[in-house]
Chain A
Amino acid sequence: MTQLLQLSISGLALGASYALIALGFSVVYRASRLFNFAHGELLSLGAFLMTALVEVMPWWLALAASACLTGGLAALLERTVLRRMVGRPVFTTIILTLFLGLLLRAGIVIAFGTDTRGMPTPWDTMAEVQVGDSTVLLSSLISLGATSLVLFGMHALVQRTPMGVAMRAASENQEVALVLGIPVGRVLAFTWFLAGATAAVAGIFLGMFPRSVDSNLGYVALRAFPAIIVGGLESVVGAVVAAFMLGLLEVWSQAYVNPHLGAFGHNFHAVFPYAAMILFLVLRPRGLWGEHEVRRV
């Protein structure tokens, strides 16, 4: 029981990071109708910026600054490259974002090198807390809390503020939104800024002990894909819920499924979500909360 609780907490902490990543993918998809494969590199960019900025300013300020810088870069990418892709096939945008990701990655290697760095924290990096009769890393709890805060903040922003209403309108139908006087271009830029900023926060919390920051951090985004697909690309809530489920599934299967599979189980938890996703999609091709598509000729 103790082990289950401990695993569940670390699963939820992992799920929280996945949720932030999934959120970024999902808001961008709703706004621009494209799947941003370069999102993972924004994660590692945020984390690397944090390790550099924390040397010159207080921790909280560095967190905000790296989130803003990463968000700014995401908005810039949208404005300069991806907005030209409006109306082009899905295929083109997939490839374009994949290659933008490769370029970003090379830029990160040039700017920050390939060394592995530890993520500094204002609290003791390896501090542990007693929850019931199990010990949990303080960093896990804080990242769980902080990401929940960001998620609720996003929810409030999208549901309650004029900007949120504009975002929802623009994702519903861009032309009608334009006619109604919504500055769709600025809304798109703001959406991408938010996606970049949440990616940076996710990267920073993912880089904390027991993990570290290196140029491969961006690959974590690939592990979040099953959540986004199962949750349904169009549904932000679905993606976030599925991301928490994914975190739990990964941690639980590492503890309970891997040992029963013998040699095949080694590292099986890393691919188990993908196998689960493929089976799931056979049953529900549009995801858990994805809207049913009406087909017209």
Chain B
Amino acid sequence: MPTRPLVIRYEDDLKLFPGLWQRAGVALTLSIALAYPWLVSTRWLTVGNLGLVAIVGAASLMVLTGFAGQVSLGHAAFLALGAYTVAVLGAKHGWPFWLALPLAGGVSALVGVVIGAFALRLKGLYLAIVTLGLVFLTQHVLLAYPEVTNGLSGTAVPMYWWFRDDAGVAASLSETWLVGGVGFTFERKLYFVFALLAAGTVWLTKNLQRSDSGRAMMAVRDQDLAAEVLGVGTTQAKLQAFGVSSFLAGIAGAMFAFQQQYITVEPPFDLNLSIQYIAMIVLGGVGTVFGAVSGALAFTFLSPLAETVGGAIPLVNQLTSAQQSTVLLSLVVVLVLVLEPLGLFGVWLRVRRYFQSWPFRY
């Protein structure tokens, strides 16, 4: 029996789950994801929620940087726009979260497409610096209108699940529900909502990757002039990448805001956040959806671990716990970049090749 189905037609190459092993892998991932909130403590459930936020954020950056090759340091700006949209809609107008979420994506996508139009003629470093400028400009705008965003002191982000009733009170998601004797705390409810969003994002980006728009983006990434000569609409591909990426980034920002329940402009929405997301996709492996997911999970789960380990290392333990995890994660990223350019995806490829050819070395 062959270990994997032979690829003899284009349709085979485009299949989402080409073989039994992929299907088994997805089923295993899904069952672990469903069991996770019942198995772990509240602390690790919070980490899991942040991991799901990071999956959406990293997948969105992967579309722009990994697929279309547009290096962006401005991811924090799109996240901030999404976060503040749901904050304002929830706190000022009492909108339910499922209505505010797509709007957060929409606001962010609008800005993304406008910036994308500016960025059409820019490449590489020039684009990176322009998108960095976008972060500063967004911070400035958010702080300049305190009557909307509450300025420096930040704003609460209520999460309602239905509109305000006649008395003007909206139903919040934060109290514990009892369903058939099982307690659904806020964190658990959040987890299931986020898991749905993350799964949807992964499905969307994976489909984008294997569709013609995704292939156009990758052609632009690999050699834009050649793509243009071959008839690929480079303008359209770049704008699509910016649009999809910033829409999903807005959603990720909104999820982050719901999870934190109270947000300020800086931190978290500064250059460091952009750098973190870049680190995730680099850790995972640039250009693949698997890379985005694994990088996001590795990054979020390493942070609390790094804080635990950091206290035991001399010199490093003089730093604050946030700085300790920054140092250890930076070390990991630098080492991965120097030693394993493909990231976790490269490690995975090597492991898989070993087992596929076992017991032979090649």
Contacts and interface: CB of A to CB of B under 8 A. Distances in A.
Interface residues of A, number: 44
Nearest to B275: A98
Interface stretch (B83-91, B155-163, B188-196, B334-342): B334-342
B140 A110 contact: no
A237 to B, nearest CB: 19
Interface string B121-155: 11111101110110011011001111000000000
A295 interface: yes
A225 B225 contact: no
Given A92-B337, A109-B319, A233-B125, A102 B330 contact: yes
Interface string A68-110: 0000000000000100110010111011101110110010011
A52 interface: no
B315 A295 contact: no
Contacts of B123: 285
B235 interface: no
Contacts of A103: 327, 330-331, 334
Contacts, number: 121
Contacts of A106: 316, 319, 323, 326-327, 330
Q: Find the residue from A92, A99, A275, A278 having the highest chain B CB count within 10 A.
A: A99
Interface string B113-126: 00000100111111
B124 A90 contact: yes
Interface string A267-297: 1101100110110011001110000000111
A148 B223 CA distance: 42
Given A90-B124, A270-B136, A275-B133, A98 B278 contact: yes
B296 to A, nearest CB: 16
Given A91-B71, A98-B275, A109-B319, A278 B130 contact: yes
A274 B326 contact: no
A222 interface: yes
A263 B315 contact: no
Contacts of A100: 330, 334
Contacts of B229: 297
A229 interface: yes
A246 to B, nearest CB: 13
A266 interface: yes
B315 A274 contact: no
B347 interface: no
A205 interface: no
A123 interface: no
B124 A95 contact: no
B121 A95 contact: no
Contact of B279 (A90, A99, A263, A275): A99
A169 to B, nearest CB: 23
Contact of A229 (B126, B286, B331): B126
A96 B129 contact: no
Contacts of A96: 334, 337-338
Interface string B319-353: 10001001100110110011001000000000000
A106 B325 CA distance: 11
Q: Find the residue from B124, B125, B136, B315 having the highest chain A CB count within 10 A.
A: B125
A106 B315 CA distance: 10
B116 to A, nearest CB: 13
A274 B133 contact: yes
Interface in B11-37: none
A264 interface: yes
A259 B274 CA distance: 32
A297 B144 contact: no
B284 to A, nearest CB: 13
Interface in B201-228: 223, 225-226
Nearest to A90: B124
Contacts of A271: 133, 136-137, 139-140
B124 A266 contact: no
Contacts of A110: 315-316, 318-319
Contacts of B124: 90
A281 B338 contact: no
Nearest to B73: A94
A99 B278 CA distance: 10
Given A103-B327, A263-B146, A268-B140, 14 more contacts: A81-B338, A84-B338, A94-B71, A95-B337, A96-B338, A98-B278, A106-B323, A110-B315, A110-B316, A271-B139, A274-B133, A285-B122, A287-B126, A296-B225
Which 5 residue pairs are nearest across A and B when measured between Cβ atoms?
A274-B133, A285-B121, A99-B330, A102-B330, A106-B327
5 contacts: A81-B338, A225-B133, A229-B126, A271-B137, A297-B225
